[in-house]
Amino acid sequence: MLTDKRLIRYILKKGSNQAADELIRRYYDDLYYYLYRQVGNGNDALDLTQEVFISALKGLSSYDDSKSSFRTWLFRIGTYKVIDARRKVKMTWLELKEAEWVEEKDFDLNLCQKELLEAINNYIANFHPEIQEVFHLRVYGELSFPEIASLLTQKEERIKAQYYRLIKKIREEFRDYE
């Protein structure tokens, strides 16, 4: 199995579609899942995943493997794509049609959790993009503080402080949410 570094070299020097396909296959599922957890919609996550890979392949010459892993770099691009997508969202109203009621035991609980997640994501969208990025990389990307610090070229202590201050604000804002 070729390393990411070697695949990237083949893409940049030889324009290898086979190497690009391998690199995409290697990270597609992780990136899709990362984006899906943020947008909560499969079609939007698919679109964003495609946009991220297009951007990554176009900007591959700017990737520096000494600063972060390729996976982390992809997640960072994904984070910015999500932030951009949220800025473009327009509200559309749906009509409620007559339908038969179907009972679901855990429906209320699932709905509350989904509503809470959406409310938290909307709340976080009000913060500086740098803070949003730290939150998304930590919560959705499941990156460690050292990985995030390396990716953002900042001190780990600063990343932790930003993250924990944001978590404190989230807890204060949503303490009464039930």
For residue 166, pLDDT beyond 60: yes
pLDDT for residue 46: 94
pLDDT for residue 96: 47
Least confident of 16-20, 89-93, 100-104: 100-104
How far apart are alpha carbons 7 and 4 in whole angstroms? Answer: 5
3-state helix vs strand vs coil in the chain, percent to 5: 70, 0, 30
Query: Cα separations (Å) of 126 from 47, 83, 101, 129?
Result: 24, 11, 37, 9
- Across the chain, mean pLDDT equals 83
> Residue 46: which of 2, 85, 103 has the closest Cα?
85
Q: Does 178 reside within a domain?
A: no
User: Per the structure, how many domains does the chain have?
Assistant: 1
For residue 56, which phi and psi values (nearest 5 degrees)? -65, -45
* CA atoms within 13 A of residue 2's CA, in its CB half-sphere: 16
pLDDT for residue 92: 54
Q: Does 139 reside within a domain?
A: yes
How far apart are alpha carbons 178 and 176 in whole angstroms? Answer: 6
Residue 176 tokens, joined: 């009464």
Average pLDDT over residues 85-91: 69
Residue 65 tokens, joined: 């493997």
pLDDT for residue 143: 86
Q: What is the pLDDT of residues 28-80, one digit of tens each?
A: 999 999 898 888 888 999 999 999 999 999 999 999 888 888 998 999 999 88
Q: Does 15 reside within a domain?
A: yes
Cβ-Cβ contacts under 8 Å for 159 (sequence gap 6 or more): 134, 145, 148, 149, 152
Supply the range of the domain harboring residue 109: 4-173
Percent of the chain with pLDDT over 70: 85
Confidence class for position 151, pLDDT limits 50, 70, 90: confident
**Plot region of 154 (φ>0 → left; ψ -120 to 50 → alpha; else → beta):** beta
- Flag whether the pTM goes above 0.75: no
